[in-house]
Amino acid sequence: MPYFVLRYDQVVEDYVNRRAPFREAHLGLMRESQQRDEVVMAGAVGDPPDGALIVFRGDSPDVATRFAERDPYVTNGLVLSWRVQPWHVVVGAKE
Extract the runs of DSSP E, i.e. beta strands, from 12-78: 39-46, 49-57
Q: Where are the beta strands (DSSP E) in 3-92?
A: 3-11, 39-46, 49-57, 79-87
Q: Give the pLDDT confidence of 19-49 residue by residue, as tens digits.
A: 999 999 999 999 999 999 999 999 999 999 9
pLDDT higher than threshold 80 for residue 69: yes
Contact (CB, 8 A) for 3 and 92 = no
Report the top-level CATH class of 3-87.
alpha beta
Residue 95: pLDDT band with limits 50, 70, 90:
low
Domain boundaries, the chain: 3-87
Please report how many Cα atoms fall inside a 13 Å half-sphere around the Cα of residue 68, on the Cβ side.
23
> pTM, whole model, 2 decimals?
0.92
